[in-house]
Structure 1
Amino acid sequence: MATKTVFYSFHYERDVHRVQLVRQIGALEGQPLLGAQQWEAVRRQGAQAIKDWIHKEMAYKRAVVVLIGQETASRPWVLYEIEKAWNDKKPLVGVRIHGLASMGSGADRRGADPFAKVPAVSGVPVFDPTQTNWQGQIDTKATYACLSKNLENWVGQAKTRLL
C-alpha cells in the first residue's frame, strides 16, 4: 500500500519504462501515467494545456519526485515542474533512474542534476541507487533492489522551500 502520494517528474519519451518500474515498487502512489497517445494529445493542445495538466496532477500531491535519467535535465517541462513545486513549497527530491533497464535495453549514462538548472532551487537531495558488479558495470537488478528498499525513505528526506 502506498504511504505517500507524489507527482513524478521525468523525461517521458526516454524514461517512461523506467518510471513504470519505479511505480511497480508500490511504496508511493503517483499520478496516472499517460499513454503515448494520451500524452501526445495533451501536447498537441499547446503549452497551456500541458501547464494545466501539470497543475491539476500536482495539486494534491504531498511531494514531487524527479526521476533523473540521462536527458532529464534538458527537458523544459521537467524544469517547469521543479520550479512550480519549489514555488508552491512542495517537498522536492531527486532519484536517479539511469541504472534501471528499459524495455530490453540496459542501463543509460548518468544525467546532469536538473535542480542545478533552476536558478532559485537549492539543497534538494538527489539519491542514486545505481549498483555495479565486480567489473564496474551497472547491475540493473541490484539497482532495482536498492531503489525498492530505499525509495520511501528517500522521499521522506525531500527538501521544501522555506521562504
Structure 2
Amino acid sequence: MARKAFYSFHYIPDNWRAAKVRNMGVIEGNTPISDNDWEQVKKGGNAAIQNWINGQMRGKSCTIVLIGSATAGRKWIKYEIEKSWNDQKGVVGIYIHNLLDRHNRRATKGRNPFSDFSIGSSSMSSVVKAYDPPYQLSSNVYSYINENLESWVEEAIKIRQGN
C-alpha cells in the first residue's frame, strides 16, 4: 500500500537535507512550500501556521521527523509530533545530521525530540523509533535511508495502532 507522510523538520538548517529524503520518492510526502509562501503563512501568525500544518497533515498516515542538530524542542516540531500521535498517525524519526547540506557540510547530531513527550508513564522515545544511519559518508546515509524508509514507516504505523 502506498503511504502518504508528513515530513517534519527544522527548516532553516535542514531544508536541503530534508529535500534529499523527500525527493527519494519512496514515500509520498507533503508538497514543499517555497520560502515566499512560508513567509506569507508566518505573517498570519500562530493560527495560520497551525492551520497550514493541519492541512498538510490531512490524509497522511505517518509523520516522519527528520532530526537535525536543533530539531528537538522547537515549538512547531513539537506541535506536529503531538498532533500526529493524537490523530493516530504513525510517528518515526530519522537522524539526518550526516547528510551533507548545500555547502557540503555535516551537522552535529541533535537530541531525540520524542524525549520531550510521555505516553502514560513512559517516554515517547521508548515507543517511537528514531533511526540513526550507521554511516558517516553522506552517500551511504542516503542509501541506508532510501533502502529502509518504507519499512520504517510501516513499522511506525503498526506501533501506533498498538498504542
- Choose the corresponding residue for 1:126, options 130, 136, 139: 130
Distance 1:40 1:82, change over 3 A: same
In 2, distance between residues paired with 1:114 and 1:45? 26
Deviation, 1:3, is: 2.5
Alignment of 1:110 onto 2:137: no
Identity percentage over the alignment? 37
In 2, distance between residues paired with 1:55 and 1:162? 24
In 2, distance between residues paired with 1:162 and 1:50? 30
Deviation, 1:162, is: 5.0
2:98 is matched with which residue?
99
Deviation, 1:105, is: 2.8
2:160 is matched with which residue?
160
In 1, distance between residues paired with 2:27 and 2:137? 23
In 2, distance between residues paired with 1:68 and 1:48? 25
Which 5+ residue runs of structure 1 have no aligned equivalent?
132-137
Displacement over 6 Å in runs of 4+: none
Quick one: which amino acid aligns to residue 34 of structure 2? G
Distance 1:69 1:130, change over 3 A: farther
Identify, as 1 or 2, the structure richer in helix: 2
Alignment of 1:37 onto 2:36: yes
Q: TM-score, normalised by structure 1?
A: 0.90
In 1, distance between residues paired with 2:143 and 2:36? 31
SS of aligned partner of 2:60:
coil
Deviation, 1:75, is: 1.2
Distance 1:112 1:161, change over 3 A: farther
- Choose the corresponding residue for 2:146, options 145, 148, 160: 148
Q: After TM superposition, list the pairs within 5 Å mapping 1:45-56 onto structure 2.
A: 45-56=44-55
Q: Is the 8 A contact 1:73 1:114 kept in 2?
A: yes
2:87 is matched with which residue?
88
SS of aligned partner of 2:155:
coil
C-alpha offsets along residues 52-88 of structure 1, whole Å, 9 cap, x if unaligned?
A: 0111110110111111111000311000000111111
Deviation, 1:27, is: 0.3
Which 5+ residue runs of structure 2 have no aligned equivalent?
none
2:2 is matched with which residue?
3
Q: TM-score, normalised by structure 2?
A: 0.90
